[in-house]
A and B are shown apart, each in its own frame.
Chain A
Amino acid sequence: EIVLTQSPGTLSLSPGERVTLSCRASQSVYSTSLAWYQQKPGQAPRLLIYGASSRATGIPDRFSGSGSGTDFTLTISRLEPEDFAVYYCHQYGESPLSFGGGTKVEIK
């Protein structure tokens, strides 16, 4: 089973700042089969990034993903008020599928 470790657990930031979230896998993720999701309180997760770096439909270009192998990154170039949420990485290349523990981005 591939274990995904996200860091940091919580980030306290201000609107307009740049943020970089990390996701590290316990073993290599098959063919960059890595996605990122955003979840706000009381809502379902929303797909942001798939294939490590491809933005999902309707996702603003301030969101970008990168990485391969065991190290992946989600970057938000300039935080907007609606971006404060929890972010999860997810590997779907190998069963059992797995999610990281999440990084909460909160308002400073």
Chain B
Amino acid sequence: EVQLLESGGGLVQPGGSLRLSCAASGFTLRSYAMTWVRQAPGKGLEWVSSISASRTATYYADSVRGRFTISTDDSKNTLFLQMNILRVDDTAMYYCANMLTSPAGTKPFPGYWGQGALVTVSS
């Protein structure tokens, strides 16, 4: 059974840093592209960042580029999101998801999601 478990969320002051982890089980992380999606309280979903299955390419939303870094430790089946220079508008539930591909082999899409880690940025 595929499971994704996020950790590392919490309360941080503006300008601070946090590192989220996403522990994967039931599949081999190194075989999949992975992504982070966030959801501000009472709002919709917002894509944050993705990393390719080859780990040679990373992608970021404009709102986090230069402040957030996505990475993996494939030997530990774990995905990370390093978040620096946090702002009040980064407050959200952060979900990790693995990226699946269709039999037709087109672009990957978020498949299985974790339950999320809550990040609150406030003074």
* A residues lining the B interface (CB < 8 Å): 30-33, 35, 37, 39, 43-47, 50-51, 54, 56, 88, 90, 92-93, 95-102
Are B113 and A50 interface neighbours, CB within 8 A? no
B residues near A (Cβ < 8 Å) are 35, 37, 44-47, 50, 59, 61-62, 95, 100, 102, 104, 106-116
Report the bound CA distance from A96 to B50 in whole Å. Answer: 10
B50 and A45 within 8 A (CB): no
Contact B102 A51 (CB under 8 A): yes
Check A35–B110 contact: CB distance below 8 A: yes
Q: By DSSP majority rule, is chain B's interface helix, strand, loop, or mixed?
A: strand
Question: How many angstroms from the CA of A24 to the CA of B79 in the assembled complex?
Answer: 32
Q: Which residues of B contact A33 (CB under 8 A)?
A: 106-107, 109
Q: Which of A33, A45, A54 has the most CB of B within 10 A?
A: A45
Quick one: closest B residue to A97, CB to CB? B47
Contact of B106 among A31, A39, A44 (CB under 8 A): A31
* Residue in A51, A56, A95 whose beta carbon sits within 8 Å of that of B111 in the complex: A56
Cβ-defined contact, A45 with B44, below 8 A: no
Contact status B104-A101, CB under 8 Å: no
Query: Smallest CB-CB separation from B65: which chain A residue?
Result: A96
User: A96 and B61: CB pair below 8 A?
Assistant: yes
Q: Which residues of B contact A56 (CB under 8 A)?
A: 111
Contact A92/B45 with A44-B115, A50-B100, A97-B50 known, Cβ cut-off 8 Å: no
Inter-chain CA distance A17–B72, complex, in Å, is 45
A45 and B45 within 8 A (CB) = yes
B95 and A88 contact, CB distance less than 8 A: no
Report the separation of the CA atoms of residues A72 and B47 in the bound assembly, to the nearest whole angstrom. Answer: 20
Which of A50, A90, A100 neighbours the largest number of chain B CB atoms within 10 Å of its CB?
Answer: A50
Chain A residues with Cβ below 8 Å from B46 are 99
